[in-house]
Structure 1
């Protein structure tokens, strides 16, 4: 196996490319095909290999300038330009006795033979393969030329990467059946949809691949790939441990607190106090000498810290210690897979035992609003954290102010071990905040709805239950005495 130059791509390929095989990298224009190939060449150069770059659309000067901008250094590669020269345009070259395609095809063949025999490379990048197709009379000749080209390189145990641009209307997971696709030992497909980049391995002959699509980003140091997380359920044995939330009122509702390694949703409409509840739960973990992480999708770290400090939750003090980190997340910049990798790396680095994800709607934005992928990615992240014994708190906004029958916004309630449900109710013209526990998978809980308020220097204050009110969940609260 030889490395692709991108460690996470090697992971998708189950070790990397097979020596002496041909791989097709296909995708729409701008999806990153050329960069994948340049990583491949740079990895060879770093391993003191001879590599050849056969190009037909960009000049060598432009290739080197563009690759340098993303931190790729391939200047020591052997370059072969098979594109038309300036004389084609300037001199209006024409051939009277034979077809232009026959002359060009013969020239291409001779040039490629010469550079391969002269340099004896271990890796070859042909960018793009369509440059060969343009000079053939018909598809039959093109296929013969292509088969001959691939056999010529394979006989010399050369690993070949070729790129191909596909139409944008085939970008949504479509499979392009072409000659080069059928001749390839592996196919890497790149997708670009509304600014979101994805990568998938369609086939890897003889070895197999990680299926599905995965995150891909182009950064100032080249291409980064973010494989989907598949939870490893073998990591953890179930050992129930009830931890206090550090808040008497919340402990009362939850009859003792939350189990370590459980997943808790704090659900409710905008402005009701979901983030404040999340901050209270973080403080409880920190007070018990645990380590905690918070990821903010909807507000800045400074705003979260200022608001919590004013409510008597000393976030600023905790941030000065090594046991707590807050990160502001921009969902339009990070894919869900990249965010997942950040979280798992932070958890491992800090040995954290609680994670707050403040703003499920922001996580959804990172998935371009795809509800099915939202559930799958959130399932993978929360299950992986749970398997590591990490407690997870997720704030989730419901659109209805009152009378909401769905405990979570995107049908993710099956993931939750615990659901704290926050809502507004109107009684006699006055608006009240209510809080209740809808679910606690591993224990009993107070089944009544309680009034609560958010008080400066005190934080969340759980008040008396609504013993004389019914119909809160339906959004039609009435005093029991009114019906008697």
Structure 2
């Protein structure tokens, strides 16, 4: 009180406020002293910030005392999901429900609120976006719709990123802006591999039509990643956003599959309402055939599902591509052979004509 009278502060930090408990003889005296202190500071119109540590094995009721006396309660946790931030109480003003991303870095504390999609206010009249690959566009009935979500699913190494890159290149080549967020490789590696396959993404980057972001999943929370995407969207106003590597996105969430679906739902819905087409590459576990269109039960999010897989034939492996789902418009419902060739990229070679077991990964002519 002497210090307060001398300096007349507008804000006071007591760290931790529970230390006051140990200079009182019992719980009653502690609560009485705390109430007296709070009244004194309120009368002076002084803002008080107090910290307290909670533990799962605490048996005393002092945390509840502190909560009942407070106008606001901010809960910080650090567990399997990383650092999280929740406003449990904010008297008279309210708060955003749920937990939010929290990081402590060199520049200080960073909070990333959970995003919430808004209702569409513009008429729904989508245009068709083409990939620039005539065979792939024909497979999709002309292309994908503006403001749609497309999953490109398949096992590791089958060509999901190459297919997604084809759409980025095709749209950017028409003078429209595109964004790529890469969870599985650096921007340099992505660009080098695309150039080797005849997709000159470097030129598009230089012209400002393609912007690439390499994402380290264990460094960023899902809220921070969502904010990074939305900041880039505000700055560049893209037609297409590619999220390359749903497995990496799941690592950033560090939670169950249902959490992945909820976070993806919120992000993709927010982008769709801006008429942005979202392309997501998704790795499934089965190497041959079709077991599930997407991992983690995320297929309901997709307006389009392009499925890539391997087919076993005479002891060898061939690649196949097909469209399993398209909400708007017709599509070719046959599986086609395809190859990925140096300097030519994705090449489709027509459908498998008689293949009763192709969805199980087998093909006999």
Aligned to 1:380: 266
> Which structure exhibits the higher relative contact order, with contacts defined as CA atoms closer than 8 Å and separated by 6 or more residues?
2
Aligned to 2:72: 186
Matching of residue 131 in structure 1 with residue 19 in structure 2 = yes
- Report the 3-state secondary structure (helix = DSSP H, G, I; strand = E; otherwise coil) of the residue aligned with 1:223: strand
- Contact 1:216 1:225 (C-alpha < 8 Å) held by counterparts: yes
Aligned to 1:152: 40
1:454 to 328, 337, 340: 340
1:395 to 262, 278, 281: 281
Question: What is the deviation of 1:301?
Answer: 1.2
Aligned to 1:344: 230
Matching of residue 257 in structure 1 with residue 143 in structure 2 = yes
Rounded to whole Å, the distance in 2 between the matches of 1:405 and 1:236 is 38
Aligned to 2:171: 285
**Residue-by-residue CA offset, 1:232-276 (whole Å, 9 max, x unaligned):** 123443112112221101111011111011110000000000000
Rounded to whole Å, the distance in 2 between the matches of 1:184 and 1:291 is 49
Aligned to 1:117: 5
After superposing the two structures, state which structure 1 stretch, 399-408 or 388-397, moved more.
399-408
- Contact 1:269 1:423 (C-alpha < 8 Å) held by counterparts: yes
> Structure 1 stretches of 5 or more lacking a match?
1-112, 480-484
- Report the 3-state secondary structure (helix = DSSP H, G, I; strand = E; otherwise coil) of the residue aligned with 2:52: strand
- Aligned Cα RMSD in Å? 1.6
Alignment of 1:189-338 (within 5 A): 189-194=75-80, 196-338=82-224
Rounded to whole Å, the distance in 1 between the matches of 2:122 and 2:232 is 19
**Residue-by-residue CA offset, 1:27-60 (whole Å, 9 max, x unaligned):** xxxxxxxxxxxxxxxxxxxxxxxxxxxxxxxxxx
Matching of residue 370 in structure 1 with residue 256 in structure 2 = yes
- Contact 1:295 1:328 (C-alpha < 8 Å) held by counterparts: yes
- Report the 3-state secondary structure (helix = DSSP H, G, I; strand = E; otherwise coil) of the residue aligned with 2:124: coil
- Contact 1:236 1:388 (C-alpha < 8 Å) held by counterparts: no
- Contact 1:201 1:211 (C-alpha < 8 Å) held by counterparts: yes
- Contact 2:151 2:305 (C-alpha < 8 Å) held by counterparts: yes
- Report the 3-state secondary structure (helix = DSSP H, G, I; strand = E; otherwise coil) of the residue aligned with 1:425: strand
Rounded to whole Å, the distance in 2 between the matches of 1:257 and 1:206 is 51
The change in CA–CA distance for 1:367 and 1:195 in structure 2 (over 3 A counts) is closer
Matching of residue 409 in structure 1 with residue 306 in structure 2 = no
2:51 to 148, 163, 184: 163
- Contact 1:235 1:388 (C-alpha < 8 Å) held by counterparts: no
Rounded to whole Å, the distance in 2 between the matches of 1:157 and 1:419 is 59
Structure with greater Cα Rg? 1
> Structure 2 stretches of 5 or more lacking a match?
none
- Report the 3-state secondary structure (helix = DSSP H, G, I; strand = E; otherwise coil) of the residue aligned with 1:446: coil
Rounded to whole Å, the distance in 2 between the matches of 1:458 and 1:377 is 36
- Report the 3-state secondary structure (helix = DSSP H, G, I; strand = E; otherwise coil) of the residue aligned with 2:253: coil
- Contact 2:81 2:255 (C-alpha < 8 Å) held by counterparts: no
Normalization by structure 1: what TM-score? 0.73
Matching of residue 140 in structure 1 with residue 37 in structure 2 = no
Rounded to whole Å, the distance in 1 between the matches of 2:141 and 2:120 is 30
Question: What is the deviation of 1:477?
Answer: 4.1
- Contact 2:258 2:296 (C-alpha < 8 Å) held by counterparts: no
Rounded to whole Å, the distance in 1 between the matches of 2:22 and 2:247 is 48
Rounded to whole Å, the distance in 1 between the matches of 2:232 and 2:92 is 36
- Report the 3-state secondary structure (helix = DSSP H, G, I; strand = E; otherwise coil) of the residue aligned with 2:358: coil
- Contact 1:323 1:350 (C-alpha < 8 Å) held by counterparts: no
- Contact 2:337 2:352 (C-alpha < 8 Å) held by counterparts: yes
Rounded to whole Å, the distance in 2 between the matches of 1:364 and 1:201 is 25
- Report the 3-state secondary structure (helix = DSSP H, G, I; strand = E; otherwise coil) of the residue aligned with 2:359: coil
Task: Give the aligned length.
Answer: 363
Normalization by structure 2: what TM-score? 0.96
Question: What is the deviation of 1:119?
Answer: 2.4
The change in CA–CA distance for 1:195 and 1:256 in structure 2 (over 3 A counts) is closer
